[in-house]
Structure 1
Amino acid sequence: MSNGSGMNMPMSNSSMKSMNMQISFYWGKDVIVLFSGWPDSNPGMYVLALFFVLFLGAAIEMMTMLQAAVKPGTRPILGAFIQAGVYIVQMCFAYMVMLSVMSYNVGIFIAALAGHGIGFFVIKIRALTKETEQQYSSPDCIPSKI
């Protein structure tokens, strides 16, 4: 490796090891997710990493409901700050999921997809339940007998 002045610099064993990065999807618990040394080939920590990525994916989707959760009558500047804060946290989680998926581990990838799917499902089931309740509680809607 050259430092630009024509001199060769020796590379340590640890720097060679860190440069060896997986660039295709693979199965296995030997993965680095977000931080160097985590989950560190430990099966329990790998399962924890899977749940962490799943949680982040679900949280991203569920935070979309918080964007519109500012109470009516709130001062516009305060409402904007609240929505901006929620958006910042949502984007932070999204980038963490993206970096986790870039580990190219299939388990992490599936956990991210499952998390987004679970979060989306929770959002939609709540919206449909609320819509159905409003529909049946309106005075215009009187169920007819068949």
Structure 2
Amino acid sequence: MATTSTTSSHHDLGGWSETPFNHTGNMHFRRRKIFMHMTFFWGHNTEVLFQGWPGTRSSMYALSLVFVFFLAFVVECLSNCHLIKPGTSNAVAGTLRTAMYTLRSGLSYLVMLAVMSFNGGVFLAAVGGHAVGFIVFGTRASMKSSGGGSGSDKRTDLPPMEC
């Protein structure tokens, strides 16, 4: 007796996704259309980082833009900070650098994933956050190093981010 399974692979469903739906202990499948933008678009009806967030309310969309801006700003702060004081033991300095590097990497990936929503506002918030963060932290570090100070001012605690 040959049976066909509705739980076959999810690989090529032509844009459709089967999701389990359990009411009375029986497994049912509901099909729903998954749509993902592959070009930039404008508007507040989007998903950023999490399913269903920010939803359809304009105020939540504005909050998501502020959140993405803040993430990008913090990435620039971490990229140009000077938290490790001279004379700190190598073990403590290494642990702090590792923690900062891990945090910067994680936040950078979150910004990248937010931009992958292909929403124009999210993209501008990310670029704006990086720009403002660089103005606040990057140029201040540059001014200190060019002001004739000691050569130790030229280095930040973390290596530069590279592609």
Query: 2:52 — aligned with what?
Result: 37
- 2:13 is the alignment partner of 1:16: no
Query: 2:100 — aligned with what?
Result: 86
Write the distance in 2 (CA, Å) between the matches of 1:53 and 1:88: 18
- TM-score for both structures, normalised by structure 1: 0.78
Taking only the aligned residue pairs, the percentage that are identical comes to 35
Write the distance in 2 (CA, Å) between the matches of 1:34 and 1:71: 36
CA-atom RMSD in angstroms: 2.4
Query: 2:136 is matched by which residue type in structure 1?
Result: V
- Relative to 1, partners in 2 of residues 1:123 and 1:75: Cα closer, same or farther, differing over 3 Å? same
Asked if the contact 2:80/2:138 (under 8 Å) is kept, the reply is no
- TM-score for both structures, normalised by structure 2: 0.70
Higher strand fraction (1 or 2): 2
Report deviation, 1:65.
Answer: 2.3
Asked if the contact 2:76/2:138 (under 8 Å) is kept, the reply is no
Report deviation, 1:7.
Answer: 2.5
Deviation track 1:43-87 (CA, whole Å, cap 9, x = no partner) reads 000000001001111110111123x43111111011000011011
Query: 2:61 is matched by which residue type in structure 1?
Result: Y
- Relative to 1, partners in 2 of residues 1:14 and 1:135: Cα closer, same or farther, differing over 3 Å? farther
Query: 2:129 — aligned with what?
Result: 115
Report deviation, 1:128.
Answer: 4.4
SS of 1:26 mapped into structure 2: coil
Report deviation, 1:22.
Answer: 1.5
Query: 1:47 — aligned with what?
Result: 62
Q: Which of 96, 113, 117 is matched with 1:99 structurally? A: 113
Query: 1:27 — aligned with what?
Result: 42
- Relative to 1, partners in 2 of residues 1:109 and 1:14: Cα closer, same or farther, differing over 3 Å? farther
Higher helix fraction (1 or 2): 1
Report deviation, 1:36.
Answer: 0.9
Runs of 5+ consecutive residues of structure 1 not aligned to the other structure: 137-146
Could you say which structure has the greater relative contact order, defined with CA pairs below 8 angstroms and 6 or more residues apart?
1
SS of 2:138 mapped into structure 1: helix
Q: For this pair of structures, how many residues does the alignment match?
A: 129
Query: 1:144 — aligned with what?
Result: none
Write the distance in 2 (CA, Å) between the matches of 1:42 and 1:58: 25
1:67-78 matches, within 5 Å, as 68-78=82-92
Asked if the contact 2:72/2:133 (under 8 Å) is kept, the reply is yes
